[in-house]
Structure 1
Amino acid sequence: MIVATVLATAASRAVTGVSAAVLAVGLGVALTNLGGLHARLAPGLRFASRRVLRLAIVLLGLQIALPELLALGGGALAVVAVATGVTFGATRWIGARLGVDPRRSLLIATGVSVCGAAAVAAMHEVAGSDDDDAAAAVSVVVLYGSASIVVLPLLAGALGLTPHQLGLWTGASVHEVAQVAAIGAAAGAGVLASAVAVKLARVLLLAPMVGLVSAALRRGAADRPAGTPGHRPPVVPLFVAGFVAAVAVRSLGAVPAGVADAIPGLTSALLAAALFALGTGIDLRRLVRGGRSLLLGGIATVLIGGISLAGVLIVG
């Protein structure tokens, strides 16, 4: 697992727009589907896919300072909130119409509307979904988010968007933080700064979204007859509370500059380890039969792109 994390981290620095976590998933998939997974690795993989993942989500909160997000202005924050909320709800509704498993459509909706693979993994913790569902959702956000690196700048040029508008649109619609950074870096420092700031505003929505879904699932479990088997999430997942606490600590300026600079790299490495572990549970033969999941992800991507573009054109 350590070797896979190091390899994924090194490769992510050489491949623009692809995060170490996403590459680690691929390594995990390759290992298990090529017959290289040994039973003695199971305890460590189980630990990484749960404990390490939760720690990574908590540390993600240390990258978010509320004063910086509030500086974006009410218009930009409204675009983020509307695009994220509508995409999440509509994706779940469309998924039901397409016949996609509710747990899988929940993960796809979360990954597309919030922050890609990290959001999928966080929701996977409370949704009672299996690793195939998580793999399908991660595949969707990687595929369409990577396509956005090429498509969004081309569309922005055709539509005559200003650099500021491109930054807002990128942050409000593209799935992975690394993909957002790739578009911003190619377009210039101004675009990069606004795009990443807007993206982090979306990441902030991860905690309330996971918390609300956990509460809804808990109510559903309570409504089942006594003795009926079913997943019963906690009232508030501990890692969600930790994420919120981390945001508060960063917002209060209690994180030293040196620590703040090191946090993104550490978080990326922990996410890579956790998602490598999740990747080892993926059966590719089952995954390739998930054509409806890919269709749902494409629809969700177009939806969040269209809503956020409309909002950007309105707020300027």
Structure 2
Amino acid sequence: MRAAVPGLLAAAAAVALSYLLHRLLPAVPVLTAAVVLGLLAANLPGAAARAAGSWKPGLALAARKLLRLGIVLLGLKVSLVDIADLGWSALVLIVALVLAAFAGTYGICRLFRLPGDEPVLIAAGFSICGVSAIGAMAAVRRTRTEDTVVPIALVTLCGTLAIAALPAAGGLLNLPPGVFGSWAGASVHDVGQVVATAQTAGTAALAAAVVVKLARVVLLAPMTAAAGLLARRADAAQGPGAGKRPPLVPLFVLGFLALILVRTWGVLPEAVLDAAAVLQELLFAAALFALGAGVRVRALFASGVRAVAAALASWVLISGLGLAVAVLLAG
């Protein structure tokens, strides 16, 4: 733990600076600022040496453990009662949306020949719940932490673009608040980005967006379990020498499910839920800074152009699917 202190202090300072940047420039989300600060730390002279040296143990701890703690706390945002109020037809539509978005994004990433686990990680992040889904999927597939950086950067980039692009498109299409909110909830990646996008159209849009988005978030557990089952089967096909089998459902995903039940029972006061939401964003910001601090720009350019093109194409696809679902939900 002593070796991790310098890196954890650097992450804490970056989180504070991310919040300051967000206060000065509200259009810049905290998590986006954290990723950018991490990239700067990894590539500017002086800071780069520390990121690769004395900060490295603490940053590795933040990138792995703090991200997973944040995913666990995400469960406190999900109430099964609110989701059940959507009705069975709406839930079936949302499940179909997530499956279609996952398959479509995976196919696009394969078409652009993205390497390794990038296609499945990007598909999970875009279709389910952004950074949280990437972290969970990486765990069951035993993906190296450094290989999650490009998918996380892309999901953060496109989610941030949505904050500006969707309200502009909603205005041009003259969408009612409820339809616009459902569209944001169905197509924007992270929960915070959904809130930032939907609130531009008022409280009715925000309410619709949050419940649709949280219905997508619940699918994190079954999608992760399915990925874990496929990974186990692949290891079994390689024979007994394949090594330790990946978990069917990681422990932190079970914690996420447990906190969904806690939220659904309604035993926690609003003050505790609000504090947990702030803590979750702090954990994610620290983890994203740490992940960004592991990226060398020269190495990123190896697949960066193709990855950005694939991400933008996937974003257009998911936005179209989300709009279709929003219109059907309104009907």
Instruction: Check whether TM > 0.5.
Output: yes
Equivalent position of 1:34 in the other structure: 44
Pairwise CA distance, 1:132: 4.7
State yes or no: 1:159 paired with 2:173: yes
Match of 2:34 among 5, 21, 24: 24
TM-score normalized with structure 2 length: 0.88
Equivalent position of 1:269 in the other structure: 282
Match of 2:258 among 215, 224, 245: 245
Equivalent position of 2:149 in the other structure: 135
Q: Is the 2:73–2:259 Cα contact (8 Å) retained in structure 1?
A: yes
State yes or no: 1:57 paired with 2:71: yes
Match of 1:305 among 280, 298, 319: 319
> RMSD of the TM alignment (CA)?
2.0
- Distance in 2 separating the partners of 1:80 and 1:197: 11
Deviates more, 1:180-189 or 1:161-170: 180-189
State yes or no: 1:209 paired with 2:219: no
Aligned residues: 315
Pairwise CA distance, 1:172: 0.3
- Distance in 1 separating the partners of 2:280 and 2:106: 29
Deviates more, 1:210-219 or 1:60-69: 210-219
Equivalent position of 1:9 in the other structure: 19
TM-score normalized with structure 1 length: 0.92
State yes or no: 1:283 paired with 2:296: yes
- Distance in 1 separating the partners of 2:30 and 2:223: 24
- Distance in 1 separating the partners of 2:160 and 2:290: 22
Amino acid at match of 1:286: A
State yes or no: 1:111 paired with 2:156: no
Match of 1:190 among 204, 208, 225: 204
Q: Is the 1:17–1:178 Cα contact (8 Å) retained in structure 2?
A: no
- Distance in 2 separating the partners of 1:210 and 1:55: 16
State yes or no: 1:219 paired with 2:229: no
Equivalent position of 2:188 in the other structure: 174
List per-residue Cα deviations over 1:193-226 (Å, max 9, x = no partner).
Answer: 2112221221222222222212211221121134
Q: Secondary structure at the match of 2:271?
A: helix
Deviates more, 1:235-244 or 1:31-40: 31-40
Pairwise CA distance, 1:14: 4.2
Deviates more, 1:207-216 or 1:144-153: 144-153
Identity across aligned pairs (percent)?
39
Q: Is the 1:131–1:281 Cα contact (8 Å) retained in structure 2?
A: no
- Distance in 1 separating the partners of 2:25 and 2:172: 27
Q: Secondary structure at the match of 1:175?
A: coil
- Distance in 1 separating the partners of 2:15 and 2:149: 18
Distance 1:158 1:257, change over 3 A: closer
Q: Is the 1:218–1:232 Cα contact (8 Å) retained in structure 2?
A: yes
Q: Is the 2:231–2:246 Cα contact (8 Å) retained in structure 1?
A: yes
- Distance in 1 separating the partners of 2:160 and 2:40: 20
Distance 1:24 1:151, change over 3 A: closer
Pairwise CA distance, 1:99: 1.4
- Distance in 2 separating the partners of 1:294 and 1:109: 13
Distance 1:214 1:287, change over 3 A: same
- Distance in 2 separating the partners of 1:2 and 1:155: 37
List per-residue Cα deviations over 1:123-153 (Å, max 9, x = no partner).
Answer: 2233333445322212222222222223222
Flag structure 1 segments of 5+ consecutive residues without an equivalent.
none
- Distance in 1 separating the partners of 2:225 and 2:29: 26
Deviates more, 1:301-310 or 1:129-138: 129-138
Distance 1:232 1:10, change over 3 A: farther
List per-residue Cα deviations over 1:34-66 (Å, max 9, x = no partner).
Answer: 141422222222221222221111111011111
Pairwise CA distance, 1:157: 2.9
- Distance in 2 separating the partners of 1:11 and 1:206: 31
Equivalent position of 2:4 in the other structure: none
Amino acid at match of 2:80: L
Q: Is the 2:68–2:135 Cα contact (8 Å) retained in structure 1?
A: no
Amino acid at match of 2:19: T
Pairwise CA distance, 1:98: 2.4
Q: Is the 1:95–1:102 Cα contact (8 Å) retained in structure 2?
A: no
Flag structure 2 segments of 5+ consecutive residues without an equivalent.
1-10
Q: Is the 1:84–1:304 Cα contact (8 Å) retained in structure 2?
A: no
Distance 1:75 1:149, change over 3 A: farther
Pairwise CA distance, 1:262: 1.0
Q: Is the 2:198–2:205 Cα contact (8 Å) retained in structure 1?
A: yes
